Amino acid sequence: MDYKKIVAEEIQKLVPEHLTYDQVYQLLEVPKYTEHGDVAFPAFALAKALRKAPQAIAGDLAAQLNHPYIEKVEAVGPYVNLFLEKAAVTNAVLHEIAAEKQAFGTADIGKGGNVPIDMSSPNIAKPISMGHLRSTVIGNSLANIMKKVGFNPIKINHLGDWGTQFGKLIVAYKLWGNEEKVKAEPINELLTLYVRFHTEAESDDTMNDEARAWFKKLEDGDAEALHLWEWFRSESLQEFMKIYDMLGITFDSFNGEAFYNDKMDEVVELLDKAGILTQDRGATIVDLEKYNLNPALIKKSDGATLYITRDLAAAIYRKRNYDFAMSLYAVGNEQSNHFKQLKAVLKELGYDWAENMHHIPFGLITQGGKKLSTRQGKVILLEEVLNEATELSLKQINEKNPTLEDKEAVAKAVGVGAVVFHDLKNDRLNNFDFDLEEVVQFEGETGPYVQYTNARGLSILRKAAVELDTTEAADLGLDDAYAWEVVKLLNSFPEIIQQAYEKFEPSVIAKYTIHLSQAFNKYYGNTKVLVEDDKRNARLALVQSVATVLQEGLRLLGVQSPEKM
């Protein structure tokens, strides 16, 4: 229920010659303090047209405004403060949630348009570290949000499955590798080999030459090199899937860098035909000076293609295959310049659809304020973090609710959910330091706190032991102050989803679920929900609505909501 719409319509009727409905709607504010009303209109905008002081205009408007959903109107200085009719609005909001259930907040902005989302993208033969968490969970949440507002998301895991690192890995495997060890622990063993290669190569540069030679063999289709590459890839993917299963995340495509090997010659031909390729010290470039960007390096002096060539091929392939409405790249902030260049080159090719490609940058997860690096082996493994979070969660469940059924499954939902939620509650552009003990707390602004609030609501409904007709119960009307704060938040959920979509920002939803949980817990702490009186079912309808919205908010973030905790 958009009560701002009702207020805007009523005010616009009083000043039809001076402000449009849209102008009034944009001017409306939500007061910081509840004693100033539920919505406010600043009269400054009418002062010039009406040639009156804003205070006088506010007084005139306040005297004339009248609507069943408006309880009272006050003029305070230049502001018209409107207080909504709590029982009537509460009825309308609870009716809507009761009728729509999980579909509450769904929109059809996207009209079914395809949205490929480039996300996660770990490198083959290296572990999925905490450094991959952000791209994975931000991309997944954006996919859920996109679907909620009517798009068709296509989740693409653009694997790092090509490049000179495979030459290094082949050399390391041939020197020190053991097939049984790799089969037993693929990622750990391959990482050990990779780190050892870098250590040894620091004092023996011929190893880098050998690695380049093996990668050239791989590019040329050498049977042994291809066999090793395919083996490393399939062993790595099996390991990756264990972690994606823990996170509850699936993908629509695993087309990685290697998929575009046979598609880059066409890109170079297209650039050449467009007459935008130039030579610079033997390298082939596209000059992007008119975009205030450095040149895009398409081919090195030895003829090797680069990331941008591959990403151009990927963008063109995705447009042809998905005819996307939008294309998103959930990739770290440090790649911002790369994506500016990518869009600029596509524009130079005359592809207007490049405007619909959006880089979704994000900050780093740090440890002790320092960036993590695979090359030196300083890596926090995501699988270990998720397992440890689950153990910490189980420990807290054993302390607080030792007889809980299925507590291992609940501990996993809470532990994994805590890690995901903690990532997504942070504005994505911010860096943040990771402290697991803090993340898995059941109190404070955490995922477990939101999950526990939902479980508490469901527990109240079970204790009520009534088959609740929430539509009928809503008619009984709640008008107390604590319930009203909850209702206003419930009512804003569709707007919150739209904000998250427009800003590509899952943290908007995560923060909202915290605020709703806090308001509900305050309501619960000050209200005897189950007391037998004529408003009991109305209170239960409110509890049911909170549980519905919290579950949907958590689902959009990719976090489970256990029924019992």
pLDDT band with cut points at 50, 70 and 90 for residue 372: low
pLDDT band with cut points at 50, 70 and 90 for residue 279: very high
Q: What percent of the chain is predicted at pLDDT more than 70?
A: 97
From CA 207, how far away is CA 213, in angstroms rounded?
Answer: 10
507-530 pLDDT, tens per residue?
Answer: 999 999 999 999 999 999 999 999
Whole-number Cα distances in Å, 2 to 106, 491, 494, 517: 14, 8, 10, 22
- The residue to which tokens 């270990």 are assigned: 384
Q: Residue 326 pLDDT more than 60? A: yes
CATH class in words for 3-84: alpha beta
Mean pLDDT across the stretch 291-304?
88
Q: Give, rounded to a whole angstrom, the gap between the first and last alpha carbons of the chain.
A: 32
Least confident range from 26-40, 415-429, 464-478: namely 464-478
From CA 55, how far away is CA 52, in angstroms rounded?
Answer: 8
The structure's pTM equals: 0.92
- Beta-carbon-side half-sphere exposure of residue 359 (alpha carbons within 13 Å): 19
Q: Residue 209 pLDDT more than 60? A: yes
At residue 208, what is the residue type? Answer: N
From CA 86, how far away is CA 342, in angstroms rounded?
Answer: 52
Residues of the chain with CATH 3.40.50.620: 114-270+298-366
| pLDDT value, residue 365 | 86
Q: Residue 252 pLDDT more than 80? A: yes
Least confident range from 164-173, 318-327, 350-359, 375-384: namely 375-384
- Which backbone phi and psi does 40 adopt, to 5 degrees? -135, 145
438-495 pLDDT, tens per residue?
Answer: 888 888 999 999 999 999 999 999 999 876 665 555 456 788 899 999 999 999 999 9
Q: Does domain 114-270+298-366 fall into CATH 3.40.50.10490?
A: no
CA pseudo-torsion sign 97, 98, 99, 100:
positive
| pLDDT value, residue 303 | 73
pLDDT band with cut points at 50, 70 and 90 for residue 304: confident
| pLDDT value, residue 465 | 82
The mean pLDDT value of the chain amounts to 93
Mean pLDDT across the stretch 430-435?
85
Q: Rg of the chain over CA atoms, in angstroms? A: 28
Residues of the chain with CATH 1.10.730.10: 382-557
**CATH number belonging to domain 382-557:** 1.10.730.10
Could you give the 3-state DSSP secondary structure of residue 355? helix
| pLDDT value, residue 475 | 56
Residues of the chain with CATH 3.30.1360.70: 3-84
Mean pLDDT across the stretch 32-50?
93
| pLDDT value, residue 376 | 53
57-111 pLDDT, tens per residue?
Answer: 999 999 999 998 999 999 999 999 999 999 989 988 999 999 999 999 999 999 9
Nearest 5°: the CA angle 419, 424, 429 is 125
| pLDDT value, residue 468 | 62
From CA 118, how far away is CA 310, in angstroms rounded?
Answer: 14
Mean pLDDT across the stretch 293-315?
89
- Asked whether the beta carbons of 238 and 141 are under 8 A apart, the reply is no
40 burial class (0-12, 13-18, 19+ CB within 10 angstroms)? Answer: buried
